[in-house]
Amino acid sequence: MRKKKKVNAAILIIGNEILSGRTQDKNIAFLSNWLNLNCGISVSEVRIIPDVENIIVKNIRSLSKKFNYVFTTGGIGPTHDDITAKSISKAFKVKYKYHKEAYKILENYYGKKKFNDGRKKMAKMPAIAKLIYNPSSAAPGFITKNVLSLPGVPSILNSMIENCKKYLVKGLKVYSKTINLYTVESNISKQLEIIQKRYKKFVDIGSYPFFRLGKIGVSIVSRSTSKINLVKVHNDLIKVIKNKKIKILNI
Binding site for a second copy (CB under 8 A): 13, 15-26, 28-33, 36, 42-51, 77-81, 116-119, 121, 152-153, 155, 174, 176, 185-190, 192-193, 196, 204-211, 221, 223
- Alpha-carbon span 93 to 112, nearest angstrom: 32
Nearby residues of 27 by Cβ (< 8 Å), 6 or more positions away: 11, 13, 73, 150, 152, 154, 157
Query: Among residues 110 and 130, whose Cβ is nearest to a second copy?
Result: 110
The least distance separating a second copy from the CB of residue 222, rounded to whole angstroms, comes to 11
Taking the complex as a whole, how short is the minimal distance between the CB of residue 68 and a second copy, in angstroms? 15
Query: Is 54 or 93 the residue whose CB approaches a second copy more closely?
Result: 54
**Residue closer to a second copy (CB basis): 94 or 172:** 172
Q: State the minimum distance, in angstroms, from the CB of residue 82 to a second copy.
A: 8
Instruction: Give residue 19's identity as a one-letter amino acid code.
Output: L
CB 55 within 8 A of CB 93: no
Nearer to a second copy among residue 127 and residue 215 (C-beta): 215
CB of 111 to a second copy, least distance (A): 13
Task: Give the whole-angstrom CA distance, residue 65 versus residue 63.
Answer: 5
